[in-house]
């Protein structure tokens, strides 16, 4: 073969590789269209000091179009109130995760942006000096009292970004998401069972449902995270808030190898062995499993509140993970990805006002009416029964100071480790004890590198 041919083929190979390396980030940006303003809320003076200024905002595409419309309306009201122009670019979560931190380092980057939570994203942005410290503004506007101190700690970092859960406040979101148990009321009444008050009740309930020929736990775990959510809920409920806080924030040399994690893992293995999950759930995609549940298959689905828009509120109910002795222990959850302000923005005060506007009572009312769960608890008569039930659960979590954590926030590699090891545990390749030890190995490696 001629040399030229070989070179040509090598070039093809290189081209293939280059195309493999180029992430195709579908940009779903779109400008928010101003809706007609009917009512103006807020107590701030109008005819403002910000008149004529412009604000660039990067948001995440909302869970439903109705919620997107609420943000558009709130933005439009904000523009009228302060006589400013807001340009909104709405992005998918994956798009945001890949680009927002880099954009915050640009001089023409967004003034306000939704930033993914946790050490690898928000923590890194703080470390790089890209985010504005909102602590004094937050105190001035009463965020800690209104939204709960434990809600805010999830967006707190030391100014060097090293310590998590302490120091300065860098963001907040008007929406919340947390884990819990959705149940099919029709199946519950057919079998004659009630939501459980203790974890023992829950186990008895699963056994009763199975004996009645129902699939107790609807699930799909191809992606690995759905089963983790069940594990996290069970493990959190047996820990104290102090312990789970220390664990996630990397304080006081905690361990993943505890009675709570051991018990939770062993319990889940028992449930797998007992056949409580949807048959072959290891091979079912999460999205498909939501569809199954919504169409009446399976008595209970343990997952996050983001599936509420997919469920018929007349058919489905919600309960939190019960603690061993009854009541509730810590529940994994957080606000949605928070709004934060770019450190070098030319309009810092306007940017902060924008976030506070989204945290207002009126914003919470509109969001709740549109089906969102809100950080600020408000009366929303138009809220669906199911959303109202979940919103009440959020109120209980914050008022009893039982906001726990997604355990994969503990280290940058924990999600990856948890997914791989939990799937091996489900398959019976490793024991519950080995699973917990593997999580702790990841965690200790992270702590020693800190």
- C-beta closer to another protein: residue 224 or 322: 224
- C-beta closer to another protein: residue 98 or 211: 98
Side-chain-facing half-sphere of 427: CA atoms under 13 Å = 12
Q: Quote the least distance from Cβ 71 to another protein, whole Å.
A: 27
Q: How many CB atoms lie within 10 A of CB 145?
A: 9
- Applying CB under 8 A, among 282, 344, 361, 434 the residue interacting with another protein is 282
Determine if 320 is a binding residue for another protein (CB under 8 A): no
- Applying CB under 8 A, among 279, 381, 448, 450 the residue interacting with another protein is 279
Contact yes or no for 442/414 (Cβ under 8 A): yes
Q: Quote the least distance from Cβ 409 to another protein, whole Å.
A: 13
Query: How many whole angstroms separate alpha carbon 375 and alpha carbon 394?
Result: 8
Q: What is the dihedral of CA 411, 405, 97, 175, to 10 degrees?
A: -170
Q: How many CB atoms lie within 10 A of CB 59?
A: 23
Binding letters toward another protein, positions 88-127, x by CB under 8 A: ---------xx--xx--x--------------x---xx-x
Query: How many whole angstroms separate alpha carbon 330 and alpha carbon 183?
Result: 20
Q: How many CB atoms lie within 10 A of CB 1?
A: 6
Q: What is the dihedral of CA 184, 189, 191, 192, to 10 degrees?
A: 130
Binding letters toward another protein, positions 418-447, x by CB under 8 A: -xxx-xx-xx-x------------------
Contact yes or no for 214/191 (Cβ under 8 A): yes
- C-beta closer to another protein: residue 17 or 51: 17
Q: Quote the least distance from Cβ 117 to another protein, whole Å.
A: 14
Q: Quote the least distance from Cβ 280 to another protein, whole Å.
A: 3
Determine if 15 is a binding residue for another protein (CB under 8 A): yes
The residue to which tokens 């859960």 are assigned: 165
Binding positions for another protein, 196-225, rule CB under 8 A: 221-224
Q: How many residues bind another protein (CB under 8 A)?
A: 54
Strands (E), 307-397: 316-319, 333-335, 339-341
Question: Footprint of another protein on this chain (CB under 8 A)?
Answer: 1-2, 4-6, 9-18, 20-21, 23, 97-98, 101-102, 105, 120, 124-125, 127-128, 130, 221-224, 279-285, 288, 292, 412-413, 415-416, 419-421, 423-424, 426-427, 429
């Amino acid at each position: 073969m001629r040399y030229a041919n070989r070179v040509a083929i090598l070039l093809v190979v290189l081209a293939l590789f280059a195309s493999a390396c180029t992430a195709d980030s579908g940009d779903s940006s779109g400008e928010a269209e101003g809706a007609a303003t009917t009512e103006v809320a807020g107590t701030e003076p109008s005819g403002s000091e910000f008149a004529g200024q412009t604000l660039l905002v990067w948001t995440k595409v909302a869970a439903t179009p109705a919620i997107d419309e609420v943000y558009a309306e709130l933005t439009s009201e904000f523009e009228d109130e302060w006589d400013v122009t807001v340009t909104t670019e709405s992005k998918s979560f994956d798009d945001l995760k890949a680009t927002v931190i880099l954009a915050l380092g640009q001089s023409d980057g967004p003034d306000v942006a939704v930033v993914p939570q946790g050490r690898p994203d928000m923590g890194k942005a703080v470390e790089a000096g890209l985010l504005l410290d909102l602590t004094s503004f937050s105190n001035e506007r009463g965020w800690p009292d209104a939204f709960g101190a434990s809600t805010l700690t999830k967006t707190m970092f030391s100014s060097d970004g090293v310590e998590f859960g302490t120091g300065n406040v860098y963001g907040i979101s008007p929406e919340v998401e947390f884990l819990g148990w959705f149940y099919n009321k029709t199946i519950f009444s057919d079998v004659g069972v009630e939501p459980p008050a203790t974890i023992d009740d829950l186990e008895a309930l699963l056994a009763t449902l199975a004996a009645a020929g129902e699939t107790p736990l609807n699930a799909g775990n191809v992606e690995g995270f759905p089963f983790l959510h069940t594990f996290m809920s069970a493990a959190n409920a047996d820990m104290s808030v102090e312990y789970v806080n220390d664990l996630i924030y990397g304080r006081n040399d905690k361990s993943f190898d505890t009675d709570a994690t051991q018990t939770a893992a062993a319990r889940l293995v028992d449930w797998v062995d007992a056949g409580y999950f949807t048959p072959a759930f290891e091979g079912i995609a999460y999205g498909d499993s939501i569809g199954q549940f919504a169409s009446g298959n399976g008595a209970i689905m343990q997952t996050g509140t983001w599936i509420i828009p997919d469920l018929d509120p007349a058919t489905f109910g919600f309960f939190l993970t019960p603690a061993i002795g009854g009541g509730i222990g810590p529940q994994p959850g957080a606000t949605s990805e928070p709004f934060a302000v770019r450190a070098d923005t030319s309009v810092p005060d306007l940017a902060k006002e924008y976030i506070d506007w989204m945290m207002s009572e009126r914003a919470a009312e509109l969001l709740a009416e549109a089906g969102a769960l809100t950080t600020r608890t408000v009366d929303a008569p138009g809220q669906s029964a199911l959303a109202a039930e979940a919103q009440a659960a959020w109120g209980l979590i914050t008022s009893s100071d039982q906001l726990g954590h997604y355990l994969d926030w503990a280290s940058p590699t924990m999600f990856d480790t948890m997914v791989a090891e939990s799937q091996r545990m489900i398959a019976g390749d490793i024991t519950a004890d080995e699973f917990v030890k593997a999580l702790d190995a990841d965690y200790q490696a992270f702590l020693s590198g800190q």
